[in-house]
Amino acid sequence: MFVIFGAAGNVGRMSATALRRAGREVRAVVRDEQQGGPLAAIGCEIAVADLSDAASVARVIDGAHAVQMLCPVPRAHADPEAAMRHMIDVSVAALRANPPSRVLALSDYGAEQPGGTGITTLFHHLETQLRSVDAQLTFLRAAEHMHNWARVLPMALAQGVLPSLHHPLSKLFPTVAAQDVGLLAAELLLDAGVPLASPRVVSIEGAERVSALDVARTLDELTGRPVAAHEVPRGEWAAVLQRAGLSEHHARLITDLYDAHNAGRIDVEARVSERRFGATTLAQAFAAMLPRVAGTAAALR
């Protein structure tokens, strides 16, 4: 049994689909039953779990051969860092008590750094805690997801302005499509080759690095509407993020992350020997997203 946490998300759904295509039994872990419909349709067993509840996590990993672990940032929580650290500690305790043969953790570029990287510091905590689990460990560190731009696509399409926290606008940064991360995660879970040193650390990013200018140019080309990238002044970051609905604590995690990004600290670790590259281009990822944001964009015009 392959247990996929966060199976209703962009990465988890692709992993579950790939594993089912390979003929494997999949237990898709979701936050509520309503998220499970499409996964049940492809033959997944649906399990509802609360990552902050030890008994809930223990129940869904019981009988697992492999576990794909995702600890999402709890956006609605007043203190998402504390809440996510708690979820990590609870989940790792359950895995330590009943370890499967394999555990793959979805992590981030920069997770090797112990601090000063905002949200990415939490993935450092995840990797550190998982090292105590008696299993073949894989840390899959992904670059910034292309679908993160979906939050600002409606504004970009409606107003022709793409706000960016990447400074300067010409700075190239690694990015990757969620579907490519999900496919690679499934591939690594299925890898039945000679056991490698644990933990196995694998990085993934797209074939080409991009800039905020490239992102705006791609939108322009796909939609036929002029879109200009706008460098949001550093002093306005927190206010902009809080107006977008983030709590003060969550906004600080984002600003710390982009400070580290702009200082060149968020990148593939030099010692990572396994580097993979996704096949999906930024244009392909955006083409799939645009129909879903078109309605919101029209309402903002």
What span, in angstroms and rounded, lies between the C-alpha atoms of 85 and 248?
17
Strand 45-48, strand 66-69: pairing = unpaired
**What residues are paired with 69 via a beta bridge?**
105
pLDDT at residue number 76: 75
pLDDT at residue number 81: 93
pLDDT at residue number 299: 47
* Sequential DSSP letters for 68-81: EE-----TTSSSHH
Q: What would be the CATH architecture of the domain defined by 2-147+175-205+267-279?
A: 3-Layer(aba) Sandwich (3.40)
Average pLDDT per block of 10 residues along the chain, 301 residues long: 96 98 97 91 96 95 96 84 95 97 97 95 97 96 95 88 96 98 97 75 97 97 94 94 85 95 94 92 95 64 54
DSSP state of 215: H
User: What is the residue extent of each domain of the chain?
Assistant: 2-147+175-205+267-279
This prediction's pTM: 0.94
What span, in angstroms and rounded, lies between the C-alpha atoms of 3 and 61?
7
Extended beta strands in 52-142, E state: 66-69, 102-108, 136-142
Beta carbons within 10 angstroms of residue 159's beta carbon: 15
- Of 52, 40, 134, the residue nearest 85 (C-alpha): 52
